[in-house]
Amino acid sequence: MGSDLGILKKVIIRKKWPDEASDFTPWLAKEENIEKLSLALGLELQVENTEVSVGPYSADILAKDAGTDRYVVIENQLKRTNHDHLGKLITYGSVLDASAVVWIASDFTEEHKKALDWLNDHTSDEISFYGVILELWQIDDSKPAVRFNVLSKPADIMRQTAITKASENLTDTKRLQLEFWTRFREKLSKRKEIPSVQSARPQYWFDVSLGRSGINLSNTANTSDNKIGVRVYIGNKVASVALPQLLQMKEEIEAEIGEKLEWDPNPENLDKTIGLKRDADLTKRESWEEYLDWLTDMTIKFRKTFSKRVKSLDLTKKVDEEHGVEET
């Protein structure tokens, strides 16, 4: 009697990516693949550039963590780790002022794993070190699937301790925002609808990645006008191209979300937004549960609705400002 289960087997990495620089790095830099790494690390990575010059050398990938807007350096090594790459990684991180460095390799020596753990334990909470084993697996003769096996990372408790320490000198408003976003993050994480959620910070916004550089989802809690909301935030570098394309989908977007949205409420601004607000007095903590439920539901709806559309935008198009017609 034949087995109804396939055989899981490991695939040699070099069969898929013969060369690190010309094969693996370009593959990883694609949005759908960097998102896989983001999910494994719990970050919101958006690629800025590849092969970034650092003196006589070059960093494989320079990304930004959308949750902190800080740089992340990614160094790839399709073999076992060595001292040369460890030194380069630290150099790249310091020169590029990165908040995190990610070392991807096919295997780690025990010494190099301990080195990353030591760096996480003994350096500032503002810098994080990640060690990731790159693996390929397949069932029988299926297409290989990638697995990013995170071997070393900063402890979550260290991150929370840093946030707690930073909150000691905050104003009452900042403390309120930090507490509100901490509870929001807990609710959003429990729903398990969004792959990676940023840490809560004492500010009026809380960003969620849409998987496209220059465009993200931004939740807001404004204590001055007693409003909370969720909006798609489009940076000025892509706004003139992205907004007209999204406006063409306005009816279907609003039908999917089930609400009429505010489209570009401040046309004089170079950055553009598409959003929804509601009244919310954050000083009334007894109403927080209602506010948080609404914001969580809308965040998930917005991300489901906009993420697929934002990823499909052609940001190479030019806009005829007089007629509003897009041209390639």
Give tens-digit pLDDT for 79-114.
999 999 999 999 999 999 998 999 999 999 999 999
CA angle (262, 268, 270) in 5-degree steps: 90
Question: What is the per-residue pLDDT for 325?
Answer: 39
What value does the CA radius of gyration of the chain take, rounded to a whole number of Å?
Answer: 22
Task: Pull the structure tokens for residue 262.
Answer: 């505010």
Q: What percent of the chain has pLDDT over 70?
A: 90
Give the domain ranges of the chain: 8-154, 159-317
**Residue 45's pLDDT band (cuts 50, 70, 90):** confident
Q: Which CATH class is domain 159-317?
A: alpha beta
Question: What is the per-residue pLDDT for 255?
Answer: 96
Question: What is the per-residue pLDDT for 323?
Answer: 39
Beta bridge partners of 105: 77, 133
Do strands 98-107 and 128-139 pair parallel, antiparallel, or not at all (unpaired)? parallel
Question: What is the per-residue pLDDT for 322?
Answer: 40
For residue 157, pLDDT beyond 70: no
Q: What percent of the chain has pLDDT over 90?
A: 59
When the pLDDT of each residue in the chain is averaged and rounded to a whole number, the result is: 88
Q: Decide: 256 and 213 in contact? Cβ < 8 Å.
A: no
The residues near 58 (Cβ < 8 Å, ≥ 6 apart) are 51, 52
Q: Of the CATH numbers 3.40.1350.10, 3.40.50.300, 2.60.40.1730, 3.90.1150.10, which one belongs to the domain with range 8-154? A: 3.40.1350.10
8-154 and 159-317 share one CATH topology?
A: no
Residue-wise pLDDT tens digits, 200-251: 888 899 988 887 878 989 999 998 899 999 999 998 889 999 999 999 999 9
**Residue 13's pLDDT band (cuts 50, 70, 90):** very high
Q: Decide: 229 and 240 in contact? Cβ < 8 Å.
A: no
